[in-house]
Every structure is written in C-alpha cells, then in structure tokens.
Amino acid sequence: MPSSVFSRRHAMGLIGAALASAASPALALSEAGARQLVDLLVADINRVISSGEAEQAMLRDFEGIFARYADVPTIARYTLGVEARRATPAQMRSYTTAFQRYISLKYGRRFREFIGGRIEVNEARAVKSFIEVKTTAHLRGEAPFDVTFLISDRSGSEKFFNMFIEGVNMLLTERAEIGAMLDRRRGDIDALIAELGAST
C-alpha cells in the first residue's frame, strides 16, 4: 500500500477519533459537578416549597424534580432487590415508572413539610466511587437537620442515587418497604406494580 494512502487513512482516522471524542466527551465525576447538581436540585425544591401552590400541584412539581435529578432506574432496581433478576424487561419498565410516581409522592409530601423553610448546600466530598453532598434543612420552629445526597455518574450523567433525611437511608428504607409489599402479594410483581401505580 502506498505510503501516501496510508498517511491519508491514518490522518482521517485520527480526525474521526477526535470528532467522536468531542461528540461524546468522557464523563468525570467531580465534587464541583456534584455540588452544582445539588445546588440546582435544592433551588428547585426551595422554589416549590415557597410557591404557595396547592398540594397536588406541588407533588407534580416534586415528581418532575425527582425524574430530573435522580437516577430512577438504579434506585428502582435496587429497591426491588433480588426480585429484579426474575422480572421481565417489560415488568422492569413498568415497575420503574410506577416506582417513580410512588417515591415522588412519598418524598414530595416529606419535602412539603418544609414549607416556610429552606435548604442550604454545605459541602461536597468524594467517597469511594461517588460524591456526598451535605445540605442543611432549616424549618420554622425546628432545629436544623441534615439532608445528604449521594451523587454518581454511572447512569451516563450526574444524578443522585440515594439520600439521607435526618440520617434515614432512602435506599434501605424503600428496599425494606417494597420487599414487604411484595411479600404480601406472594411475590407477584405485576400486583406490586399495580399498587404502586395507583398511589395517590
């Protein structure tokens, strides 16, 4: 093969690789990026709790916030536990959708209790393969308490995959509750999906 042809192909290959790299930049989880995500998340939460909207409107807003900032598929799969292995792809999709509504309503009501207060972002620090971002909730008539978000980019973008409210671990709490709900339905995943989807 003539060297000129090889040189042209080599050059085109390098250009193509550079363009591909520019189009799909490698993700690099950082404390600054995680803090920025939580800054935006907290700003949205503060906006909703100070909006004066009716409960149902607030809960719709909180569902949008959860969908925007949380790694819902990862959280949903974890809460289903070992049962996720036997769920069909269609069941997992339906479960994830139903779980998103269920968890949004549940924690949306919890954040609605913050009306008249605010959340402040304090610090971010690397912990193993994720970033921990600590915030403080200031509520009227109550002592401040911690709300901590764990951030990862394993989903392809920076999202929170767990949070602690006053030290209560969301992932572990929801895994236990979903497991109990499934046990009451004798392992019927479709019945579980129907119940979660009917959450109001």
Structural domains of the chain, count: 1
State the sign of the Cα–Cα–Cα–Cα dihedral 26, 29, 33, 39. positive
Compute the average pLDDT of residues 106-131.
Answer: 90
Judge whether residue 189 has pLDDT over 80: yes
Burial code of 37-58, b = ≥16 C-beta within 10 A, e = fewer? bbeebbebbbebbeeeeeeeeb
At residue 14 the predicted structure's pLDDT band, cuts being 50, 70 and 90, is very low
CB 31 within 8 A of CB 131: yes
Write out pLDDT tens, residues 3-12. Answer: 443 344 343 3
**Greater confidence, 31 or 197?**
31
pLDDT tens-place string over residues 26-53: 346 889 999 999 999 999 999 998 998 8
Tell me the chain's radius of gyration from C-alpha atoms. Answer: 21
What residue numbers bound the domain in which 158 lies? 31-197
CA 48/CA 138 separation, integer angstroms: 15
Three-state SS string across 66-89, please?
Answer: HHHHECHHHHHHHHHHHHHHCCCH
Identify the CATH number of the domain in which residue 108 sits: 3.10.450.710
